[in-house]
Chain A
Amino acid sequence: MNNPTYERKVDTTLSDSRERGTYPRVISTASNQSTPLYPISSSTKSRGTERSIISTEDHKHKEYIYSQIESIFWEAKRENFEDGMESKFSQNLISFIRKYNQDAIESITFLIVYENVNPEVAGEALRWIGRIEHQDSYAFRRWLLEISIILPSAHVRDGALLGIASMDDKHAIKYLKDAINKEKCNDLKEDMIQVLEQLES
């Protein structure tokens, strides 16, 4: 497995990309590299995607992946999720991540972080992102959970928390502690403390 370092990749056109079906163009900004936003693996670096502007071919490929995952999330709005039960959405999500690996997580990140999806569906996705067995995407999935635990939606924070609990990885402790300090919802804060105790035990 690659050991990703954290560098910043910023979507400078995001405000124009919120409409369904438009993939946000990813542009890296060297001046902002001190703030970690997205994990870059050594394999990604070797493909040269850290260059100033990604190639048209790469962009088309990512646009295709983005449209795929967007459809998966869109259709899931009709489903009623239950703890521990698979759904058409969870099955599609797992297949998607296994197929597209870190590109899949990148697309899911845009959907969730920039709140382009239904919050309950986003929360459900994060539960499964912590649960699936797929070593190649492990660090990326963990990273997504760690940043999602402080996002505005309580649905999303709860999903991220459950994903972190499933992964049971001590790496998340510092992010969880930070989230506990920021959490305004008492119920969710108590659940976070319970997961922190689990990770520290």
Chain B
Amino acid sequence: MPLLLRAIRKSRWNKTNCPWLAKDDIQADLLRDFETKDNTLSVWLVQDDRSNLNDVLLALGASRDTASNLDYTIFDVGLLANINIKLEINAGNTLYAKANCWHRDLVELTTNKIVKLAEYLLKNAEIERFSEKGMIKLIQDAVNKNQIDRAKLKPSIDKRLV
């Protein structure tokens, strides 16, 4: 079954920041990683063998203001049915055209659904970090292969490339 990736900020998911937190509760700041727009949330489809994972990370990283690490959570798309969350295919708008077809939106979200999603992800999903150095290498490779137009990169990213 395919997976979904959502960019997050890993330190918000760290329960040691909240020693007062009850065992089964979740810290409210974590919901900042679920900030919706028009009641939708942006996610990316990742093949179950993760063969397109680096493409998705590249799409996200190359479109940022500066070269940076990228924190993300990755989870089974099947989870959405349990929480009754709808998934819509909406092409992404990143500098890496190849990856834009893997963009999805979680739509018609409610506060209940978001809290359930956050609870599930905190307990079950993988929380990962892709390094800044790794991101620069991905972008460099893509530029070398003409997969990304270097002229469209933000100057602070361009400066880091050879």
Seen from chain A, the residues whose Cβ lies within 8 Å of a Cβ on chain B are 80-86, 119-120, 123, 127, 131, 153-155, 158-159, 162, 165-166, 168, 184-185, 187-188, 191, 194-195, 198
Contact sample, A vs B, 11 pairs, CB 8 Å cutoff? A80-B32, A81-B9, A83-B68, A83-B71, A84-B65, A85-B65, A154-B16, A155-B17, A158-B10, A165-B131, A198-B133
A36 to B136 Cα, complex, angstroms: 35
The answer to whether A162 and B17 have CB atoms under 8 Å apart is no
The answer to whether A85 and B11 have CB atoms under 8 Å apart is no
Q: Which of A83, A154, A155, A187 contacts B69 (CB 8 A)?
A: A83
Which B residues touch A159, using CB under 8 A?
11
The answer to whether A131 and B66 have CB atoms under 8 Å apart is yes
Interface residue range, chain B? 20 to 34
Q: Which of B10, B14, B29, B132 contacts A166 (CB 8 A)?
A: B132
The answer to whether A154 and B132 have CB atoms under 8 Å apart is no
What is the minimal beta-carbon distance from B27 to any residue of chain A, in angstroms? 11
The answer to whether A187 and B14 have CB atoms under 8 Å apart is yes
B13 closest partner in A (C-beta): A187
What is the minimal beta-carbon distance from B159 to any residue of chain A, in angstroms? 8
Which A residues touch B7, using CB under 8 A?
82-83
Q: Which of A80, A119, A127, A165 contacts B17 (CB 8 A)?
A: A119
